[in-house]
Amino acid sequence: MNLNRLANPAHFQAFAGFLLPFLWAIAGLLIAAGLVLGLVFSPADYQQGDSVRIMYIHVPAAWLSLLGYSVMAGASAWGFIARHPLADVAAKSAAPVGAVFTALALLTGSLWGKPMWGAWWVWDARLTSELILLFLYLGYMALWSAIEEPARAARAAGILAIAGFVNVPIVHFSVNWWNTLHQGASVFRMGGPTIDTAMLAPLLVMTLGFTLLFAALTLTRMQTELLLRRARSLRLQVSAP
């Protein structure tokens, strides 16, 4: 795929219009299959019981909270380095999608924490750093809303996104760097997964489905953002003396 070709809004809109139906369909099928496998066919955990099924939503959401911010920061950096016209559009579009998945990860984590830890919230290293990640998302979106001129907004928000990326590895490695209540990695770890295949299969299916959903939502928002920018440009042309 030629990124320079996609710099043309018309080419990008055509590419996204072709790709999106496949993304929506595959994401929907995978999520439906993952939910059936996870909620119906996978066994209950011998310690956590049926509450373990929360992980089929929680783990993919947590993964996408990190992926979404990485996309946002990476696109912002690419905008500064390569001046690609779609870079800030991608970063701005990924932000609210990533923020929703981050909030979902925190919510499902709280639902799991109440029966397991006896509390809806604890100031655990993983939970606290994930909450900070949500605040970074919200701060990024607030900067875009506060600055009317798109180029200035992109610069200010991009600096915040790149600076805030330091929190991504902190979230990921927090369970290794500090003593926390949150369990350590059980899927993406050296030595391979430690959970049973009957639980791993639906978890991977859900993770792939959620990832494709993230891609579909971000591409859709990029299409909308380009249309809004086009409309803004036309309004300025009409109002110009």
pLDDT tens digits along 68-79? 999 999 999 999
Greater model confidence, 186 or 220: 220
| Mean pLDDT computed over 145-150 | 88
Which architecture, in CATH terms, is 20-239?
Up-down Bundle (1.20)
Per domain, the residue ranges of the chain are 20-239
Asked whether the predicted pLDDT for residue 189 surpasses 60, the reply is no
Mean pLDDT lowest among 4-8, 54-58, 89-93, 131-135? 4-8
Whole-structure pTM value: 0.88
pLDDT band at 47 (very low <50, low <70, confident <90, very high): low
Contacts of 25 (CB under 8 A, 6+ apart): none
